[in-house]
Amino acid sequence: MSKKYKVLTIVLAVVVVGLALGLGLGLGLKKTTPPEDAIKDADSYTTLLFEGYNETDKTVTVRQNADNMPTGELIIPGNVEHEGVVYTVQIYSTTEQNQGAFYGNEGITSVVISSGIVSIPAYTFVNCSNLESISIADTVTTIGQRAFYNASSLHEVYIPQSVTLIEAEAFRSAGLISVTFGDYENWKYFSPFAQSDEYQMTENGETNAERLRTYYVYKWEKQTV
């Protein structure tokens, strides 16, 4: 092989390697699922919409991108970085059942609620029929009304010790078979008709899942003793 062809071969090889690396980096930028608890640039997530940056409170609201819906494992970060500022993430809250943050998403199979998030608002995962598992950080204190309504594939849930309020119908029509509480004592239920005189939620950390799945008129609140 002549020197001329050797040089040409080397040049072509460099170009091919460069294109491969560029393609790999390009594909990497499209990866939208952040590692748990990571601080990331909010604008880099294409399956999540970060809206309403609050410069005073340093908070931002997150929900799914209707034009590029998340699928598979969904990790909701506890904080994101945007233009050099770190914001604490809040899940989008609404009073309309069909407008929850991840309403009707049939592609999500698992969810990680990262540390820093304090509430799973009402209607967040309504009709997420293929959601099979949920990991709730121990910073969450409230699970809102119908948050997991009709999440029919959700069979097991662990409620961390930090949670003190489960609003009415939070797990109504979900597929709950097993529910375990990090702190199972001193829960009471409240309804429009009656308030319990006894703590009836759990025993030894486990609960009758039917209470959360079908007792839709009740909310549950952990009492301070």
What is the percentage of the chain residues whose pLDDT exceeds 90?
Answer: 54
Mean pLDDT of 157-172: 93
pLDDT of residue 142: 98
Q: Where are the domains of the chain?
A: 1-30, 32-222
Query: 133: closest CA among 118, 150, 151, 145?
Result: 151
Residue-wise pLDDT for 166-206, tens only, equals: 998 999 999 998 888 888 777 777 877 766 555 556 555 56
Over the stretch 118-147, which tens digit does the pLDDT of each residue have?
999 999 999 999 999 999 999 999 999 999
If phi over 0 gives left and psi between -120 and 50 gives alpha, with beta otherwise, what is residue 87? beta
Q: What own/partner pairs with CB < 8 Å and gap ≥ 24 does 53-61 have? A: 53/82, 53/87, 54/87, 55/85, 57/88, 58/85, 58/86, 58/87, 58/88, 59/87, 59/88, 59/89, 59/90, 60/87, 60/88, 60/89, 60/90, 61/89, 61/90, 61/91, 61/92, 61/93
**pTM (2 d.p.):** 0.79
pLDDT(21) > 80: no
| Assigned CATH for 32-222 | 3.80.10.10
